[in-house]
A and B are shown apart, each in its own frame.
Chain A
Amino acid sequence: MANLRAIRKRIGSVKSTQQITRAMKMVSAAKLRRAQDAITAARPYARKMREVVGAVAGRAGADAHPLLAAREPRKLALLLVTSDRGLCGSFNSGLTRAAYRYIQDHRDRYEEIALFVVGRKGRDFFRRREIPIRKEYIGVLGAVSRHHAETIGNDLVEGFLAEEFDEVRIVFNEFRSAISQTTRFEKLFPVELESAAGASDVDYLYEPGRKEILASLLPKYVETQVFRVLLESVAGEHGARMTAMDSATNNSVEMIARLTLQMNRARQASITTELTEIVSGAEALKG
């Protein structure tokens, strides 16, 4: 019976797909572990940097450094961090959709929204929708280094200082755990000024001076935050892929069970038919 053969073939193909998803799951699990270590190790520095910058900037005031200048936000730069590869569930789709919605919702608020995209997936999404992308960074996610963060950070800082945009926001997937990432919007700069009274009332003594420290600290701060965001995203991506591949593997197990049942039924049916034919043939001869 042709049907039987078709089912057998189908089972074979599901099995080989299962092998692939299982292997991908294992690879992602290994990569996730490394990415997770990297992000947990990078967070303390990023957090501390944010604290210090907030405290110093709060005391120095908005006119102490160009990166603190809160201009009227007419033009926005949005840095979207997606992944280069797919097969990671809703990791990219959820994120790009959120970014897309954000852009639609804020169209009227800003004169212009400049889009900076990390990762092939995000780029393809906005290309399909014919939304112009100011700059794209492809292939940095395989091995995230501080050098990449510096490049991206510099592009953003330069644009901001040249007043090409007045505000920079990042949208990315934050790594929560292996099975959960959340879409986050964060404002990169102008830096939020923490009220000096909030922390402690005593100002620091500065070496060499407050201005010099800010000038050296702020670009570093931007780089650090971008670096952290990239690491968050990479860890999230591996987590999402691991989960997606795990459920794909489970689904294929289920599918194979169902197909096997179907195959056995078909086989049984064909045996029954054959038997009936033989019996009725014999009966006919007797008569």
Chain B
Amino acid sequence: MASTIRLELVTPERLLLSEEVDEVILPGYEGEFGVLPEHTQYLAILNIGVLRYRKGSETRRIALGGGYAEVTPERVVVMADTAERAEEIDVERARRARERAEAALKELSLDDETYAKAYAALQRAMVRMAAGE
């Protein structure tokens, strides 16, 4: 029985990560879920949120902009729309993005087509701030 699980993280622009890890926590559609080795086959839509993975005693965080995760007993493949390692995140920029999104949301009404877009931008900015801090 494998004691580690392979985590692969791909975005349309790059392969971000391919590593053996001990545990992965993903922002699933219906809430966060954790994956350990020998997990059952699982396919989930991911929300905008923070992915965490643990290797030994070290935990790292990655901000995801939504996507999909395919889980098999040996590996987790995350297909993310966007992904950023916590270390790479410019918190100051994320904060500005949040302020911009908040300002945009105030202008819009719920029926506006761009409302969902602006709301997603706000969420992404908040997640990036959370992951980066």
Contacts and interface: CB of A to CB of B under 8 A. Distances in A.
A20 to B, nearest CB: 33
B45 to A, nearest CB: 6
Residue among B28, B40, B43 with most chain A CB within 10 A: B43
Contacts of A46: 12
Contact of B43 (A42, A52, A146): A52
A224 B77 CA distance: 16
B79 A203 contact: no
Given A49-B79, A207-B30, A213 B14 contact: no
Contacts, number: 67
A45 B44 contact: no
B13 A41 contact: yes
A146 B8 CA distance: 21
Interface in A195-225: 200, 202-208, 212-213, 216-217, 224
Given A45-B10, A45-B12, A146-B12, A52 B41 contact: no
A65 to B, nearest CB: 15
Interface residues of A, number: 25
A278 to B, nearest CB: 76
Counting contact residues on chain B (CB < 8 A from A), the size range is 20 to 34
Interface string A56-73: 100000000000000000
Name B's interface SS.
strand
Interface in A29-58: 38, 41-42, 44-46, 48-49, 52, 56
A202 B41 contact: yes
Contacts of A216: 45, 68
Contact of B14 (A41, A56, A200, A217): A41
Interface string B57-95: 000000000001010100001010000000000000000
A116 interface: no
Closest 9 CB pairs of A and B: A207-B44, A41-B14, A204-B43, A45-B10, A204-B41, A44-B15, A44-B10, A205-B42, A45-B12
Interface of A: 38, 41-42, 44-46, 48-49, 52, 56, 146, 200, 202-208, 212-213, 216-217, 224, 227
